[in-house]
Structure 1
Amino acid sequence: MGERVRVLVVDDDRLVRMALRLVVDGEPDLVVVAEAADGDAAVEAVARERPDVVLMDARMPGRDGVSATAEIRTRPDPPAVLVLTTFDSDELVLGALRAGALGFVLKDTPPARIAEAVRTAAAGEPVLSPQAVVRLIAAATGPGSGEARRGVREAARERLAGLTERELEVARGIAEGLGNPEIAARLGIGVATVKAHTGNLFGKLGVDNRVRIALLVRDAEG
């Protein structure tokens, strides 16, 4: 067996932390290396333990998961962050995704799926279903002040302006929650070509996951 995926569990509820530790430590390829009860402790634990994946509660007293995620993701070689949430925390999840989280896990997710989500995040892949993308995009483009929305829209359009037409088509497919095979079929190109365009999108847009591409496209069209 190869080296185990190192996990940091962050939640203000001790019972939730205990439950997540049981789930993670029950898998032969995963291990909890530390726990934290708030955002400040999470940042310190990342610096000390250098985990591969952080399971980060979105809503905590004191420093929340969004602020902690933003700081953690600025570190050299940062861990992947998965947000722990309930379906009443869309705005917090959006903030964490914008800060660089790879996706989210509902707190009532079955244990086997939580373990699989950790493995997926450790591999650098987003943990979001197309349905989840649609839900979060709806929250991102919901009612807000006209001036604020215009500012967000113009900033997003400026970032997308440097893309080629094909890159923009791939970005729009990502924003619809499509996987690489679906995008390839739509555009009549190979999956490897879609992957290459996606890599270009990461570099040109200064993002590190597909969810942030989707949010940028939707912001530009909002």
Structure 2
Amino acid sequence: MSNSSTGNAPLLNIANVLTVVRILMVPLFIWLLLADDGSHGLYRWLAVATFAVAIYTDKLDGDLARSRGLITDFGKIADPIADKLLIGSALVMLSALGELWWWVTIVILVREIGITLLRFVVIRYGVMAASRGGKLKTVIQTLAIFLYLLPLTTWLGSWAWWISAVVMAAALVVTVVTGIDYVIKAVQLRRSALQNPGGR
């Protein structure tokens, strides 16, 4: 729900409800993966479905908030938190199940948490808007996780692993590159604000 202004929208609205639902789906998603325990059975498919529905609510609540003027301060804070909880839990669970290297999960999580903290640090100088690269990063991360979650080895064999690994590698590269880009923008934002303190 990325929008720069907050109107008089009530706190209890459909967009915020969907965001909260997405947060509540995270423990369900984790439980389903734990219940499946790497067997790629019914619980795995239910976990995939839960992840897909949660990702869809991310798009839906943003569209509703913008089109119906339902943007609130709560939504601005809760929406990115919900996204990071979902993506982060999926990465951690895939690594815990031995399906994704831990170092990949750690690199992505360090980047996500680091950039989030960086935004709070530089907010006194200005707001760092989400870049196209950042949005692309989210799309590729989501696709990579979805491919890892899908139990495709039954039909594709080792090809399923290679396809997932290639997409995850692309997600990792974009994640790191966009992270560096945000750091550069933060430095430039701070420098500009200090050089022109009355211009903000």
TM-score by length of 2: 0.29
TM-score by length of 1: 0.27
Structure with higher strand content: 1
Structure with higher helix content: 2
